Each structure stands twice: as structure tokens, then as C-alpha cells.
Amino acid sequence: MAFVVSAIVGLLLLAAVGVAASRIPFARGIVYGGTGALCTLLALWSVLSLAGGAGTEALALPLGLPWMTAHVRADALSAVFLLVVNLTGATASLFGWGYERAHHDARSGPVLPLYPLFIAGMNAVLIADDAFGFLVAWEFMSLASWLLVLSTHRDPDTPRAARIYLIMASFGTACLLLAFGLLAGAHGDYRFDAIRSHAPEGWAATLGVLLVLVGAGSKAGLVPLHVWLPLAHPAAPSHVSALMSGVMTKVAVYAITRVLFDLIGEPLWWWGGVMLVLGAVTAIMGVLYAMLQDDLKRLLAYSTVENIGVIVAALGMALVFKAAHVPVIAALAMSAALLHVINHSLFKSLLFYGSGAVLSAVHSRDLGRMGGLIHRMPVTAVFVLVGAAAISALPPLNGFVGEWLLFQAILNGPALPQWSLKILIAVIGAALALAAALAAACFVRMYGTAFLGRPRGREAEEAREVNAAMRLGMAVPAVLCVLLGVLPTPLLRLFEPATRLMVDAGPFDDRAYQPWFWLAPTSAIGNSYNGLVMALVIGVLSMVLVVAIHRWASAKVRRSIPWGCGYDGLDPLAVTQYTASSFGQPIRRAFGSTVFRARDHVDMPQPGDTRPARFHVTWTDPAWHAIFTPLVRLVARLADLVNRLQFLTIRRYLMLMFFALVVLLVMVAVTQR
Amino acid sequence: MTLLTSVFLQIVQMLVVLALAPGLTGFVRWVKARLLARRGPSILQPYRDILRLLKKEAVLAHNASWLFRTTPYIMFTAIWLAAGLIPTFSTQLALAPTADLIALIALLGSARFFLALAGMDVGTSFGGIGSSREMMIAALAEPAMLMVVFSVAILVRSTSLAEIADFMMSGAVGLRISLALALISLVMVAIAENARIPVDNPATHLELTMVHEAMVLEYSGRHLALIEGASMLKLLLYAALIGCVFAPWGMAGPGADSAAVIRGLATFVLKLGVAGVLLAVFETSIAKMRVFRVGEFLGGALLLSLLGAIFLYVSRGV
Amino acid sequence: MHDLGYDAAHLLGAVVLLMSFALLYQRRLFALLHVFTAQALALSAAAAWQGYIQHAPHLYVTALLTLGLKAIVMPVALHRIVVKLNIHRTIEPALSVGLTMLAGVSLVTLSILLVMPVTESASALTREDLALSLSVVLLGLLMMITRRNAVSQVVGFMSIENGLILAAVGVAGMPLIVEMSIAFSVMVAFIVFGIFLFHIRERFDTLDMQKIESFRGESH
């Protein structure tokens, strides 16, 4: 425990080095190297702690007001999320070091002092043991990431993104503040231990839970509170985007898990129902949004929204099973959620690194300017392919294992007592399956337009492979994606203390003995999956196939020009090539026309007119359209009303004060009774 | 049943699906030709086609990447493995516990993912058309298939195909609304996934209507042979899957002797024949639909399978 | 555990419901009429089967009535109306087909959720029958509000009626089923003829108008 605290202090010191970066030689190396080393140590610490059964360690630090001490505590759940945060923190430091060297922009704002601060803030949230420390760390994390977003303030889109992010972050913190107020109740004791022992009941608990869902959900990106996320995440430098998307959203998931599974005690079943619905809607909307994007990083950010939806749905499933007192199945759903948390942090950071590599080579985030990068950036292309395949839940990679566990939990729906929940879970299953299939389509579109085909611009044509640090930063998560897909059971074993803490059961409780390479968790449905055997069989079969074909069939290859639809050879400007937006058209028509009111506009000149034909797509964001635009209008109108108060006579001011006083007195009189 | 027997049966299974797949395609083509009052090519024609393609040199575009060249192998392996996982003549297969129905669907998804990427590799417009339409079809077909799995798995309390087949053979299920809806939905998915009429026409090269053929337009030689072989395997896979879940009779169960296995093989061939005739009759009696109606068709399949899952709770038990 | 009587009744009810979905999916009038015929056939088979397992001969009368009126007379009559009046053969949905189907599935879910708690004590057959027929009724209503064409609205109305009859034949010992089905059929007949007459008038009016305009050379 003391180690985690000192590591956080170390990160703060590194931030100080970052502040004085201009005067210290090799400051960039020191900051990124130090952060990477500290993160690696913290990740190792959490693995060791989990492997050793993850006992709970608490510490009171003499910080803050004299009569209040800051409480920190690390249990199994904290350890799981510490592992997630610091694993990505380590790879992000490695990648970021290379990225800043390759892509340094002198006019951009400072990143060095804020980067360790951001990671320190996230770590601090995970070990906070009182509401006060939790909120301070939460704000710390939010503000550090906000400043990191602002570091690209020269980009035309950044100021708006930062403004919306700030508003949403403040809103989220305000909700969490109210929520903790409700949870602490009349005792006014904000230590988590006190909340745990006097968990509120009735409407206070419900309101608190809903406020946590809104407050942490806005940070995680639950629809419709996701609006800031696809603006802010892509605006930051790529390694910070990876941290924000891959990890900071997970800290929000941690907050939800901590409150709903730990602090609140016995949950009500319909809270889980709310989470299921929110999660499924978020998953489907997120992936549909992603399908519409032409900006590589924004596409990834929307895909984060989708994955958060999947995680929240899995947590909701764990909650309903916990409320129904079926802990083994709750443990299954919880394992699915935790596995998806680490899976998503791996492949999403990998994909964001890939986007950073592409950005530093092509100098654009627009998919319409890329193409054919597989030839010019072969190593990056392989790693991004692994990430895209993993996020599309293809076996034998890690994304599939998470999906498999989740569907096993869904198949246990009949174990629930409520009719409405049984049917809801079936519907949620369909929605999540739809989201997964759409995600595959989305990443085929992303990879196909960025890395395959022919270059769509001079910069894509002249792109160069990135430096070794960036390649290594991508290699680590890519290897882990494969490893966790092939051997998920050891990791689930490692996470078992956390599921036991949250839902009082482990995923393997009902099976006496499990070999480490076999995944067969549930009791109700005796299914199993073996990634290792599957990978081996796939390997053997394809080797047999390759050998057989090259032995007995023709092995000759001739290169030639493909049919170019009337051009002599292929058209030189690659205009007949499918673009991202044309690839998305069938799905846009099938789903987008109702959800987003997406319309294709074709401006076709008359015969004889020499101006070029134009095509563009318009769509409206339902979240803005239905919620935020009216809200902004309402705020503006209220502000107008309040504005009038500035121009009153003194007598009127006195009158206002007098009425306020009388109303207060009346309230006191009423409540006194 | 020892491990050795199950490994042996598994290898036989892998070889049987490989050997029968072109035959099924040839049979469907032959029946279709007969229904249209043509003589039609021999049933063995697909075998000859594949052998001929294997002997030819492969022609690649100048800018084709390694992904383009490896995709046929990946795709063939994934579909071959998936076809090998479905109990066709015996439920005692060595690989049965490594992958269940969900993994099987995901394997098919991998094959599709890589084929769609390969379609975009050369950068011609046809490949893009095919890939984008294929992914749209898959985006609805895959969840529909998962919901079918959901209905069946909740009834049987398992997603393992061997257990599903054993359970269905025991006859403890009876007629169920859910199963009927699941069957209809699965058939719709199978039609779409195998690029059959009315979703796609396997015999056309007309650009406005083609999906699957557009994606593989740039392939030739051994690569094309692998892809064609994979498509044939996929057709067999769906026929075997429908047979395994909804008509598992005649399959050799646990502890069966060699006579039962041979009987199982014979019934499997018979089932394939019935499936081929039904498919041919269906295809000749219906017109191809517009590409943008496919969304409604498969959306219907998804909703039907969802309805099936919901109706599980209405009928007794569960 | 299962008996054939229950299973067959169950399946026939499901076919009726499935046909309701098929009605929502159709975009052409003749296909719509064919699907409706199929629904009526399934309903009449369901009624006959219920008559057989409940040993209630009066249900055979219902089955015959359904067969005669719904599966033969009505479709043929509507077919002739469509041909004679040259009604536009495609159906213009007010709501896209996909959304209508989605709404349909939600309605079925709703009816299941409504029926389940109320009939906890009833037999599975009654429970399922009620859920199925309530779904058919709701889908018929949905069809009436999402289709602009008058003929498809009539078909929607008749499928509502099919749902009611399905509910009635499923409940053992329900009195006056025959009378009810006759009354419904008469009512439908009146509606159909009403629409028939209405359409003739409207059609001739517009024809007249077009004639007049073309004489004056004002048509475009």
C-alpha cells in the first residue's frame, strides 16, 4: 500500500521535472521513462497483490484539514483497475516518448508536466477510501486530462471540444458530489467504511445510485452523456487519447462498480435493469456513430462509447444476478465485465497508438486521405490489424473471450425470477450481438480504407514507418491481445478475488478442478471454450493447407494490372476506389436513416455542364438534437431572465432580499415542526 | 468412447466435409438445371473446376499486399474448422469441447472479416462494393444467428453442438414455437450467408446485384480455388448445422459401434441431398430482391429469432 | 412431458402470429392477400384442431366458416376489387417496414408481459393462446395505422378479428363462438362492401375529373 502511495508521489515529482523541462536536459526521456517505469512497477505490484489473494490494505495519510485524514485503501477491485491503468500507462509512456520525438509541434501546449499528473490522478481515484479524497482525485484526473486536451489548442476544433468537456466533467463531478452526500446520509461520515456499514435504503439509495450512474456515466461516455467524449479524446495527443479512451473511462467504470457492488450493500434488481438498457443503447448507438465517422481518432472514440456500453451491460447483468441471489452467474457476468475492461484497455490503446503512428506519418486524421499504408508502414499495419481483429471479437483473440463469457451469462437469463428481466435479457442479447457485428463492419471499414487499397493523397503515398519506440509501444498490447485470447483462464483466476469481493462468488466455483488452459466457467450451462487448442488447430490446419497447396498445386504467381473499369490500368487518382463513406452507405441506409436522419445528397450536373458532381452526407446527432440543444437554449433563456436582475432599483433589490428572508423563515418554521 | 476414437472420428469428419462440399454444390446446380429443363453439368463439375483452378498460375495485382495472399488460406481454414466442429454423422468429436456454437459463429465471422478486407486490398471499386454489402448483410445475419443459438441453447441448456444434437435426438423437446421461429430465421440467415437467391445470385457477374462475387473478383488460380472451396464448405456447413440442430436423426450417439457410424454417414448424405433439393426448388421459384431490401429481409430474420427467444418463456418450463 | 394435442395447437397459433408478421412485411397487395389467406387457413386449422381435442363439434362450424369466408370469399372478393378498380398495387407504408417489424416485436413482448402475470395459475395452453391472440390483435391494429392503402387496412381489420377468434377457440367451453364468428364476418362483409362502394365512387369521380381536364387540355 505504502508502495502505491509512494509511486503516486513519484509521479508528482516527475510532473515537477516536466514543469522545468526547458532547463533540464533529457527532460522528455526522464518524464516518460520515469512514468513508464513507475507504471510498470505499479502494474507488477497489482499482479502480485492479486496473485497473493489481494488482501485489503488501508492507510490513513495526514493530508487535508488537520482534523481529517485522507484514507487510502487497496483491495482486489482496486488492484484489478490499478493493473489496467498502469499497464496502459506503461505502454503509453513508451509510445508517447517516441511519438513526441516524431511528431513534436513547438506551438503546442505543455504535455510533459501534465502527463504524469494525469496518471497519478487516475491511480489516486482507485485507492481513495473516502468520498472527499475520491472527489479530489477525480477532479485532479479530469482537470489534468482537460489541460492535456488543451495542449493542441491550435487545432480549430480543440477549443469547442475542451469547453464541452469542461462543462460535462463539472456536471459529472457535481452529480458524484450529490451522490456521495446521499450515500453518507445523516451520519455525515464520508469514509467508505462508514458508508458501507450504514448503506442508505429506499429513495436515498436509489437516487444516489442514479446520480452515480449519471456522474460516472458521463465520464465513461454512456449515451446520451457521451457528447464530449468523441470531441475531447481525439483532440489530445495520441498517447493521451489512448489513456483517456482506454483507461480514464475505466476509472469511471470503477466508480460505478465500487458504489453499486460494494458500498451500497444489497442492490435492487431494477438498478441492474437500468444499467442493462443504458449499456445496450450505448453499445448500439456508439457503433452506429462510429460507422458514420471519417475521422480516424473520432471513430475510435465512438467505438470506446460502444465498448463502455458493453461493459456497463455486463455489470448490469452481474447486478441483476446478484440481486436475484445467483452469485455464480453474477460472478460469470462480473468476470466478463472485468475481462472486457482489460481487453478494451489493451486493444483501444493499441488502436490509438496506431492512429498516432498514422497521424505522424500522414499528418491527417481523415480516412479520406489515407490508403495503402500496409505497404509503407508494414509493422504498424500488422499491429493495427491485430487490434482491429481483437475489437471485432474474432477468435482466438481476447475480444472474443470477453464476448463469449458475456453470452454465457446472457444464456443464464432464465435463472432470474422476474419475467420482465428474462425477456429484457433476451433483447439485450440481441442488441449486444448486433453491436458486435456492427463493430466488425466498422473496423473492416477503418482498416480497409486506412491501410488497404491505394493511397488517396500524396502524404499517404510518401508515408514512412514510425520509430522503434512507437513500434514497441504497439507491440506490447498486440502481443497481450493474442496471449489473453489464447490463455484467458489464468487472468480470470487472477481477477477472482475481485469478483469474490463484489458478488461473493468466483467464476469457477462450481467446477472442482480446471486446467489452466481450459475455460469452462458456468454451472448452469456446461459449455467450454479453449482458445489454445483452437489456435493450435487453426495453425496446424493452415500449415497443412499451405504445404499441400504449394506441394501439389501450382505455386506460380504473376503480377498484373487489375481491371480498372475503363481506365488504362488503374485510375491514377484512385477516385474509383471505395471510400470510407461509400463503404458505410449500406449500413447508413439500413440504420442511419431512422436513427440519425442520415441523408445522401447527390448534386448531379446536367449533361453538357462541366462542373463536377458532388456528393455529401448529412446527419443529425440525436443526443444533441433531442437533449443538448434544447438544454442550451433553456440555459440561455434563464440567463436572459437572470440578467434582468442586474438592472433593478435599490428598492427592488431590497424587496428581493426581504422576500428571500421571509421565504427562508417560513421554511424554517415549517421544518421545525 | 475413448479419446482415440473421438480423434479418429474428428479426422474422418474433417475429411468427409471436405470431400462432400463440392458435391453438394454440384448437386444443387444440377437440380436447378433440371428444374429449368436444362441438362445441366455433371455433379462432379465443381471438383473439376477446383482442380483446374489449382493447376493454374495465380495472377495478382501489382499493389496486392500480403493480406490479399494469405486471406484465402485464413478463410478456408476458419470455415473448414467450423465445418469440422458440427456433428454430421457422430456426436463424438474430439474438438467438440474446445468450441461451441458461439465460437463457430465467430469463426465464420473471422473468415468474413478477412475476406472483406481482401476485397478492399487492391483498391478497385468492385471489391469495395462487395465488402461493404457483405458487412451490411453480416451485421444483421450474425446477431440473428446468435439469437437462434440463444433459443436453442436455453432449451437444451447448452451451446455445445454435440449436446444439442444428443438432446434433440432424445425427443424430449416436442414441437415448439421457439424452435419453429428459430428454424425459419436460421434458414433465412443461411440463404443470405451463402449468397443464394433472393439475397445474392451465385451465378451472376452483373455488378449491380453481386455481393460475394464482387469481393473475390480479383482472385485467380489457387487462391480462387481456395475461396470457391470455402464457399462450398460454407454451404455444406449450414446444411449440416440445420440438420444437426433440427433433424439430428440417424447420428451416431455416445457409445455407438461402427455400424452406427456408417449408418450416420449414410443419413448425412441423404440429409444433404434433401437440403440440396429444397434449396434448388426454393431458388428457382423466387426472384432476387433489391440489395436494399436485404436489410429488411435479415432484420426480419433477427426479429423472428428474437421473438423465438421471447416465446421460450411463454411456453411451459424453460 | 409434452403431448401432441398441446404442441399442435401451440404451433398452429404460432403460424397465425407468424402470418401477422408476414402481413407487416409485405409490400404488394396481392402478396398481402395471399398471406392473409394463409393466415385464415392456419386459423381454421387451429379451430378444427381445438374442436378435435376439446371434443367440441361447434368449433368445426367456426373452422368451416373461417375457411369459407376468410380463406376463400374475402380474398377473392378483395382480389377482384383490386383488379377491377385498378388500385395501385404497392402498399405505401407510413412507417418503414423495418421499424414496423420492430414495433411489432415490441407489441408481442408487451402482450406477453401483460398476459404472463395475470394467468400465472391458468394452464400453459390458455396462457400461450392468450399471449398469441393478443399479439395478433395488436399487430392487426399496428397494420391498420401504418398502412395508407384502404385494402390493407381492411386486411388489418380482418386479422384483428382472426386474433379474437383465435382467443375464443382456445378457451375451453367458451359459449357463443359460432355466433361471434358469424357476427364478425357479417361486419367485415359490410366494411368491405362499404369500402368497395366508396372506392367506386371515388374512382369514378376522379376518372371524371381527369376526363374533364383532359378535354380542357389542362392535364400535365
Taking each helix axis from N to C terminus, what angle separates B125-156 and B291-311, rounded to the nearest 10 degrees?
Answer: 10
pLDDT of amino acid C90 = 73
Confidence of residue A594 (pLDDT cuts 50, 70, 90): confident
Judged by a CB distance cut-off of 8 A, whether residue A482 touches chain B is no
- Helical (H) or strand (E) element with C183: helix C177-216
Report the residue from A423, A590, A593 with minimal CB separation from C112. Answer: A423
Q: Three-state secondary structure along A155-221?
A: CCCHHHHHHHHHHHHHHHHHHHHHHHHHHHHHHCCCEHHHHHHCCCCHHHHHHHHHHHHHHHHHHHC
Please enumerate in sequence order all residues whose Cβ is within 8 A of that of A301, keeping only pairs 6 or more positions apart, or say none: A229, A230, A233, A234, A241, A245
Judged by a CB distance cut-off of 8 A, whether residue A530 touches chain B is yes
Alpha-carbon distances, residue B220 vs A506, A649, B121 (angstroms): 52, 88, 15
Contact C177, C168 (CB under 8 A): yes
Name the DSSP letter for residue B260: H
Could you tell me how many residues make up chain B? 318
Number of domains within chain B: 1
C66 pLDDT above the threshold of 60: yes
Contact B135 A563 (CB under 8 A): no
Tell me if B304 is assigned to some domain.
yes
In angstroms, what separates the C-alpha of A148 from chain B's closest C-alpha?
Answer: 35
Cell representation of residue A556:
506460380
Name the DSSP letter for residue B89: S
Cell representation of residue B308:
423465438
CB contact residues (below 8 A), chain B span 256-295, against chain A: 291-292, 295
pLDDT of amino acid B90 = 85
Using a CB-CB cut-off of 8 Å, the residues of chain C touching A590 are: 98
Name the DSSP letter for residue C126: H
A210 pLDDT above the threshold of 70: yes
In angstroms, what separates the C-alpha of A420 from chain C's closest C-alpha?
Answer: 7
Name the DSSP letter for residue A65: S
Rg of chain B over Cα atoms, rounded to whole angstroms, equals 19
Question: Tens digit of pLDDT for each residue in A407-418?
Answer: 989 988 888 888
Report the residue from B172, B177, B299 with minimal CB separation from C14. Answer: B177
**Smallest CA–CA distance from A591 into chain C, residue:** C98
3-state secondary structure (DSSP) of residue A529: strand
Using a CB-CB cut-off of 8 Å, the residues of chain B touching C21 are: 300, 303-304, 307
In angstroms, what separates the C-alpha of B262 from chain A's closest C-alpha?
Answer: 26
Degrees, nearest 5: CA angle A25-A26-A27: 90
A593 pLDDT above the threshold of 90: no
Half-sphere exposure of A160 (CA within 13 A, CB side): 6
Q: Please state the rounded mean pLDDT for residues C211-219.
A: 48
Using a CB-CB cut-off of 8 Å, the residues of chain B touching C104 are: 303
- Nearest Cα neighbor of A81 from A214, A209, A196, A216 is A216
Using a CB-CB cut-off of 8 Å, the residues of chain B touching C28 are: none
pLDDT of amino acid C6 = 75
Tell me if B144 is assigned to some domain.
yes
Alpha-carbon distances, residue A491 vs A339, A496, A514, C205 (angstroms): 8, 9, 13, 77
Contact A586 B218 (CB under 8 A): no
C213 pLDDT above the threshold of 60: no
Give the whole-angstrom CA distance, residue B150 versus residue A432.
13
Give the whole-angstrom CA distance, residue B100 versus residue A451.
33
Q: Please state the rounded mean pLDDT for residues B106-123.
A: 94
- Greater confidence (B59 vs A54) lies with B59
C contact test, residue of A416, A418, A419 with most C CBs within 10 A: A419
C138 pLDDT above the threshold of 60: yes
Using a CB-CB cut-off of 8 Å, the residues of chain A touching C112 are: 419, 423
Name the residue range of residue C175's domain.
4-216
Contact C11 B177 (CB under 8 A): yes
Judged by a CB distance cut-off of 8 A, whether residue C116 touches chain B is yes
Give the whole-angstrom CA distance, residue A79 versus residue A51.
10
Q: What percent of chain A has pLDDT over 70?
A: 96
Using a CB-CB cut-off of 8 Å, the residues of chain A touching B121 are: 374, 448, 452-453
A569 pLDDT above the threshold of 80: no
pLDDT of amino acid A483 = 94
Chains that touch C (3 or more CB pairs under 8 A): A, B
Taking each helix axis from N to C terminus, what angle separates C150-170 and C29-54, rounded to the nearest 10 degrees?
Answer: 10
Report the residue from C98, C99, C116 with minimal CB separation from A419. Answer: C116
Give the whole-angstrom CA distance, residue A43 versus residue B301.
46
Q: Three-state secondary structure along A284-336?
A: HHHHHHHHHCCEHHHHHHHHHHHHHHHHHHHHHHHHHHHHCCCHHHHHHHHHH
pLDDT of amino acid C209 = 44
C contact test, residue of B289, B292, B316, B318 with most C CBs within 10 A: B316
Q: Where are the alpha helices (DSSP H) in chain B?
A: 3-35, 45-55, 66-85, 101-119, 125-156, 161-170, 177-193, 212-215, 221-246, 258-284, 291-311
In angstroms, what separates the C-alpha of A423 from chain B's closest C-alpha?
Answer: 6
pLDDT of amino acid A567 = 76
Least-confidence region, from A264-273, A440-449, B306-315, C82-91: C82-91
Report the residue from C11, C21, C97 with minimal CB separation from B175. Answer: C11
Contact B159 A408 (CB under 8 A): yes
Q: Please state the rounded mean pLDDT for residues A23-42.
A: 90
B316 pLDDT above the threshold of 60: no
Judged by a CB distance cut-off of 8 A, whether residue A447 touches chain B is yes
Using a CB-CB cut-off of 8 Å, the residues of chain C touching A420 are: 113
- Helical (H) or strand (E) element with A73: strand A70-74
Using a CB-CB cut-off of 8 Å, the residues of chain A touching B49 are: none
Name the residue range of residue B290's domain.
3-311
3-state secondary structure (DSSP) of residue A26: coil
Judged by a CB distance cut-off of 8 A, whether residue B107 touches chain A is yes
Half-sphere exposure of A301 (CA within 13 A, CB side): 27
Judged by a CB distance cut-off of 8 A, whether residue B231 touches chain A is no
Using a CB-CB cut-off of 8 Å, the residues of chain B touching C109 are: 310
CB contact residues (below 8 A), chain C span 116-135, against chain A: 116-117
Question: Tens digit of pLDDT for each residue in A477-493?
Answer: 999 999 999 999 889 88
Q: Please state the rounded mean pLDDT for residues B233-247.
A: 94
pLDDT of amino acid C127 = 75
Contact A578 B132 (CB under 8 A): yes
Chains that touch A (3 or more CB pairs under 8 A): B, C
- Nearest Cα neighbor of A333 from A395, A251, A411 is A411
pLDDT of amino acid C208 = 46
The residue type of A167 is I
Give the whole-angstrom CA distance, residue A499 versus residue C220.
74
Using a CB-CB cut-off of 8 Å, the residues of chain B touching A533 are: 95, 98
The chain-wide mean pLDDT, for chain A, equals 89
Confidence of residue C220 (pLDDT cuts 50, 70, 90): very low
Question: Tens digit of pLDDT for each residue in A259-302?
Answer: 999 998 888 999 999 999 999 999 999 999 999 999 999 999 99
Contact C112 B310 (CB under 8 A): yes
Number of domains within chain C: 1
In angstroms, what separates the C-alpha of C96 from chain A's closest C-alpha?
Answer: 9
Least-confidence region, from A2-6, A283-287, B175-179: B175-179
Residue-range domain boundaries for chain A: 2-532, 584-618, 623-672
pLDDT of amino acid C1 = 40
**Smallest CA–CA distance from C128 into chain B, residue:** B314
Q: Please state the rounded mean pLDDT for residues B195-204.
A: 82
pLDDT of amino acid C218 = 46
Rg of chain C over Cα atoms, rounded to whole angstroms, equals 19
In DSSP notation, A347-411 reads HHHHHHHHHHHHHHHHS--BGGG---HHHHSHHHHHHHHHHHHHHTT-TTSHHHHHHHHHHHHHH
pLDDT of amino acid B197 = 84
Give the whole-angstrom CA distance, residue B225 versus residue B50.
5
Tell me if B54 is assigned to some domain.
yes
Spacing of C-alpha B262 from chain mean position: 23
Question: Tens digit of pLDDT for each residue in C27-54?
Answer: 888 889 999 999 999 999 998 988 888 8
Tell me if B316 is assigned to some domain.
no
Instruction: Cell 467438440: give the residue.
Output: B96
Question: Tens digit of pLDDT for each residue in A510-544?
Answer: 555 566 677 776 554 567 788 888 889 999 999 99
Question: Tens digit of pLDDT for each residue in A38-94?
Answer: 999 999 999 999 998 767 888 888 776 666 678 899 999 999 999 999 999 999 999
Cell representation of residue C106:
415490441
Cell representation of residue B138:
453480416
pLDDT of amino acid A288 = 94
Question: Tens digit of pLDDT for each residue in C149-198?
Answer: 777 878 888 888 888 888 888 776 666 666 776 777 777 777 776 766 66
Q: Residue B138 region, left (φ>0) first, then alpha (ψ -120 to 50), else beta?
A: alpha
Cell representation of residue A147:
489541460
Give the whole-angstrom CA distance, residue A668 versus residue A660.
12
Confidence of residue A179 (pLDDT cuts 50, 70, 90): very high
pLDDT of amino acid C197 = 61
Using a CB-CB cut-off of 8 Å, the residues of chain C touching A593 are: 96
Contact A430 B309 (CB under 8 A): yes
Cell representation of residue A659:
422576500
C80-91 burial, b if ≥16 CB within 10 A, otherwise e?
ebbeeeeeeeeb
- Nearest Cα neighbor of A355 from A399, A305, A301, A308 is A301
Alpha-carbon distances, residue A581 vs A295, A450, A596 (angstroms): 11, 12, 15
Give the whole-angstrom CA distance, residue B101 versus residue B82.
9
Cell representation of residue B261:
457410424
Contact C98 B175 (CB under 8 A): no
Signed CA dihedral, A161, A164, A170, A172: sign only: negative
Question: Tens digit of pLDDT for each residue in A309-334?
Answer: 999 999 999 999 999 998 888 999 99
The chain-wide mean pLDDT, for chain B, equals 89
Judged by a CB distance cut-off of 8 A, whether residue B61 touches chain A is yes
Using a CB-CB cut-off of 8 Å, the residues of chain C touching B307 are: 21, 105, 108
Confidence of residue C219 (pLDDT cuts 50, 70, 90): very low
CB contact residues (below 8 A), chain A span 221-250, against chain B: none
Signed CA dihedral, B101, B106, B110, B115: sign only: positive
The chain-wide mean pLDDT, for chain C, equals 78
pLDDT of amino acid C204 = 53
Contact A411 B153 (CB under 8 A): yes
Confidence of residue A101 (pLDDT cuts 50, 70, 90): confident
> Chains B and C: how many Cβ contacts under 8 Å?
64
- Nearest Cα neighbor of A165 from A252, A229, A108, A255 is A229
Q: How many CB atoms lie within 10 A of CB B203?
A: 11
In angstroms, what separates the C-alpha of C87 from chain B's closest C-alpha?
Answer: 23
Give the whole-angstrom CA distance, residue A134 versus residue A72.
9
**Smallest CA–CA distance from C106 into chain A, residue:** A427
Q: Please state the rounded mean pLDDT for residues A201-210.
A: 89
C211 pLDDT above the threshold of 60: no
Least-confidence region, from A67-76, A136-145, A347-356, A397-406: A67-76
